[in-house]
Amino acid sequence: MIRAGLRRLLVVLVVVIGGTAAISAAIGALAGRSIPHALAVGYYVVGAGSLVISFALGIRGPMRADRTDDVQEYGPAPFGGIFGVPRGGHVGRRRRRKATPEERRETRLASLGLFAFGLLLVLLGAAFDPTHRVF
């Protein structure tokens, strides 16, 4: 089970790092920039995005939304939004519940993983950056 998880993690890392390299190199070539500069900017942007998502996930509180479709208990779903389409993409009403310790642990670990991944991408961008020397 751990081997399969590590394999999936490695695939995600390779896809994100390779995809970022391909997209940023193509955009850099179209913009007339050097490839190392384009790679550095691409890794900086994706790394910063990962750090922001990590922060947003890390500050999530202990309450979770619990969606329900129980019409008898809560009555019919409210209609609002544009042309009577319910807002929020759900039919039933939402209740708030306290997150289980396992949910909080998973959120914390996901936030730490995204932080480490974002830091890796920023350091990778610094390694490719031709305007600054790493050492």
User: pLDDT tens for residues 31-77?
Assistant: 999 999 999 999 999 999 999 999 999 898 888 887 665 545 555 55
pLDDT band at 1 (very low <50, low <70, confident <90, very high): confident
With beta carbons less than 8 A apart as the criterion, state whether 83 and 57 touch: no
Q: What share of the chain is helix, strand, coil (3-state, %, to 5)?
A: 70, 5, 25
Q: pTM for the complete prediction?
A: 0.73
pLDDT at 64: 81
HSE-up (13 A, CA, CB side) for residue 56: 6
With beta carbons less than 8 A apart as the criterion, state whether 38 and 25 touch: yes
pLDDT at 38: 95
pLDDT at 118: 96
Number of helices (H) and strands (E) in the chain: give both, helices first: 4, 2
pLDDT at 99: 86
Residue 79 scores a pLDDT above 60: no
HSE-up (13 A, CA, CB side) for residue 123: 7
Among 128, 67, 77, 66, which Cα is nearest to 103's? Answer: 66
Residue 116 scores a pLDDT above 80: yes
Residue 85 scores a pLDDT above 80: no
Residues forming a β-bridge with 98: 63
pLDDT at 62: 83
Q: How far is CA 50 from CA 13, 53, 67, 106, 111, in A?
A: 12, 5, 28, 17, 10
pLDDT at 115: 96
